[in-house]
Amino acid sequence: MVEQYFAGDSRTMQERMQAGDLYIADDPNLAADNARGMELADRYGRTWAGDRDEAKRILADLLGAVGEGTDIRPPLFVDYGKYIRIGARTFINFNFTALDVAPITIGDDVQIGPNVQLLTPTHPVEPGPRRDKLEAAQPITIGNNVWIGGGAIILPGVAVGENSVIGAGAVVTKDVPANVVAVGNPARVIRSI
């Protein structure tokens, strides 16, 4: 039944996933990548307080890129890790959840409060494809010098422009331009900076 979604498409599930197309969420190769990401994130958390140099090495192995001077407080939760790119001098507080089914790009000098979620996965509305464990994803981009308040949620496909502020607890459902403050659920721009 699932085969109908992939007829004539020779790409791997990983290639489909990264392209934003439907893929099988419980594909064995993706499951192995997911287990690796979760294990490294867990090891990072256990190492961080006692050996910062080793924690930095683990983080560099986990993430696609991490800039100089970036500090991520554990625990950190990822799907894969390797699809996350973080710029220099960025600070990310406790309980950061970054579901990187599609790429997540975080710029330089970004501040992210505790309990923030960046969620790239999407799921079909129709019940059949959901039952077949199909999902897709859209990338998230956070510009330079953005501040995301605690508990904010950034949804699939969203880009936040440089210098903007996302208020605590906001649910960001659409792009936020540069140099604004956005708050609420759904988040809306309340003023320019």
Segments making up each domain of the chain, as ranges: 2-192
Q: Over 70: is that where the pLDDT of 1 sits?
A: no
Largest CA distance in the chain: 52
- pLDDT tens digits, 29-75: 999 999 999 999 999 999 999 999 999 999 999 999 999 999 999 99
Which CATH number is correct for 2-192, 3.40.50.180, 3.40.50.720, 3.60.130.10, 2.160.10.10? 2.160.10.10
- DSSP result, 24-63: ETT-HHHHHHHHHHHHHHHHHHHHHTT-HHHHHHHHHHHS
pLDDT band at 5 (very low <50, low <70, confident <90, very high): confident
pTM assigned to the model: 0.95
Catalytic residues: 123
- Give the C-alpha separation, 140 to 144, whole Å: 13
Measured from the Cβ of residue 28, the count of other Cβ atoms closer than 10 Å reads: 9
- pLDDT tens digits, 74-125: 999 999 999 999 999 999 999 999 999 999 999 999 999 999 999 999 999 9
